[in-house]
Amino acid sequence: MKKIKFKERPDTAISLLSVLYVTSLLANLAVGYRYISLGSFTQSGGIFIFPVSFIISDIITEIYGSDLARKLVRYGIVCQFIFAVYAYLVIHTPAPYFLQNKELYASVFSPYLNFALASSISIWIGSKINIVLLSKFSEFSGGKYFAVRSFLASTAGEFLVTSISMVIANYSKLSLDNLIYMIGCCFIIKTIISFVAIWPASVIVYNLTHKRSSYKTILEFKRPIRLLKNLLLLAWNAKGFMYVLEEIDMDRNKAILYYKGTRGIIEISLFHAFYNKEIIDKLNPDDAASIGYYYAQIHGGDNVFLLSENKEKKNFVLMFKSGELNILGITRDKKIIIEDTKNAIEFLKFPMEIYRNKLMLGKFSSSQALYIGYLSGTPELNLKNFKPKQICYLKLVK
């Protein structure tokens, strides 16, 4: 059986995000029992670093899927326990005679195991709620409005984490009134931090899904008002792609997609994937182009996609011009006329040239990338195999 598998390319972003996530958890554990006091405000030292873990979890859920985000949460909890257990073993190991103030080590590291237990339970519950809500909101909104979805999901998750961890860690140390006061203050501070953090998080999501173009675009605006306006628009439009192309089965004419929400693997015919605008718009341009290419390889002789008589499916991909590059038309020698909206220029490229250039392909919308893939894979539209059709003339007779 002929199957085309689409393997994930090496991704340095997920490595960096994973390291930052675990670092935020360990930093929260390290200073969790070190309280800070600013006037009448008294809180745990980890209050300013912990919300970062939720924001990173939201970015990973949006870009790489909820399955990977759940795994990262589990790995982070394991790392916390390893850190706490190792610290516990070290302080209970006999110290040399020359070590001064060894009792201070015990006073600092002794609570770690208890705090790790409290935070692990709360993190597991709160993070699960956060990831599930973000995925559900993504389904309802069609994958749009990442900033709003992330803020709502993070707020719900952080409320559970704050309540559970505070109760478990401080039930014998604080009175009920002080405990409720600290939970309320801690939740408010975390909510404010989450609101601030969703803006750079939206930039990261947009940048990871738009081939490095967005971040440079923001930095081009030197005026503060333009910068703020552009940042608001970017945060509103930031979204991850909900479907990932895993495999194409040429023999069965099937496309296997991974849904990043809660549905898992979806198997659909290439025909239905090709004409399903909802699915195509939620794929990245590279995957959409691959569906178009292999659909054309199988149905190369069937040009129903291009026929004007088919009113329901007439060139629907050309009606959406939302990318940095857009298709304006096709020349007689089968080159695509491309509009560069950023530089306000037009240029020509063969479909296969664009299809093989992943960086350029990523600047088109998913629907137009599908069309480029279709043109690249259709034999009779391919330049190498193209033969001009004979023109039929009408003859006037008496």
Tens of pLDDT, residues 3-19: 676 655 546 778 888 99
Rounded to an integer, the average pLDDT of 306-322 is 46
Burial 181-208 (b: 16+ CB within 10 A, else e): ebbebbbebbbebbeebbbebbbbbbbb
Query: Does residue 154 contact residue 130 with C-beta atoms inside 8 Å?
Result: yes
Give residue-wise pLDDT tens across range 138-187: 777 767 788 888 899 999 998 988 888 778 767 777 777 878 887 888 88
More confident of the two residues 62 and 41: 62
Across 280-301, average pLDDT:
83
Identity of residue 92: H
Q: Compute the distance between CA of residue 391 and CA of residue 397 in angstroms, rounded to an integer.
A: 19
Task: Give the whole-angstrom CA distance, residue 233 versus residue 250.
Answer: 41
Confidence band for 307, pLDDT divided at 50, 70 and 90: very low
Q: Which residue has the tokens 């390319």?
A: 9
pLDDT score of 136 more than 70: yes
CATH number among 3.30.2310, 1.10.3470, 1.10.287, 1.10.1760, domain 3-219: 1.10.1760
Q: How far apart are CA 256 and CA 184, in angstroms?
A: 46
- Model confidence band, residue 22 (pLDDT cutoffs 50, 70, 90): very high
Q: Is the pLDDT reported for residue 92 higher than 80?
A: yes
Q: Which residue has the higher pLDDT, 316 or 185?
A: 185
pLDDT higher at 76 or 143 = 76
Of 28, 55, 42, whose CA–CA distance to 189 is shortest?
A: 42
Three-state helix/strand/coil letters over the chain: CCEEECCCCCCHHHHHHHHHHHHHHHHHHHCCCCEEEECCEEEEHHHHCHHHHHHHHHHHHHHHCHHHHHHHHHHHHHHHHHHHHHHHHHHCCCCCCCCCCHHHHHHHHCCHHHHHHHHHHHHHHHHHHHHHHHHHHHHHHCCCCHHHHHHHHHHHHHHHHHHHHHHHHHCCCCCHHHHHHHHHHHHHHHHHHHHHHHHHHHHHHHHHHCCCHHHHHHHHCCCHHHHHHHHHHHHHHCCCCCEEEEEEECCCCEEEEEECCCCEEEEEEHHHHHHCHHHHHCCCHHHHHHHHHHHHHHCCCCCCCCCCCCCCCCCHHHHCCCCCEEEEEECCCCCEEEEECCCCEEEEECHHHHHHCHHHHCCCCHHHHHHHHHHHHCHHHCCCCCCCCCCCCCCCCC
Q: Residue 386 has what pLDDT?
A: 44
Closest residue by Cα to residue 66 from 122, 135, 161: 135
Quick one: what percent of the chain has pLDDT higher than 70?
A: 76
State the pLDDT at residue 23: 92
pLDDT for the residue numbered 141? 76
For residues 17-22, average pLDDT: 91
Identify the band that residue 387 occupies on the pLDDT scale cut at 50, 70 and 90.
very low
Please list the residues that pair with 272 across neighbouring strands.
none
d(CA 166, CA 130): 19
Distance CA 21, CA 55 (A): 9
Please tell me the predicted confidence (pLDDT) of residue 232.
67
pLDDT at 190: 86
Say which range, 89-93, 320-324, 327-331, 333-337, has the weakest mean pLDDT.
320-324
So what's the pLDDT on residue 314? 40
Domain map of the chain by residue range? 3-219, 287-381
pLDDT averaged over every residue in the chain: 77
CA distance 269 to 200: 38
Q: Which amino acid is at 344?
A: A
Confidence of residue 342 (pLDDT cuts 50, 70, 90): confident
| Per-residue pLDDT tens over the stretch 362-382 | 888 888 888 889 888 876 555
Residue 333 backbone phi and psi in degrees, to 5: -90, 20
Is there a contact between 278 and 30 (Cβ–Cβ < 8 Å)? no
pLDDT at 45 over 70: yes
One-letter amino acid for residue 381 of the chain: L
The top-scoring range by mean pLDDT among 8-17, 311-320, 326-335 is: 326-335
The answer to whether residues 251 and 154 touch, using CB atoms and an 8 Å cutoff, is: no
At 313, the pLDDT band (50, 70, 90 cuts) reads very low
List pLDDT tens digits, range 47-64: 888 888 999 999 988 888
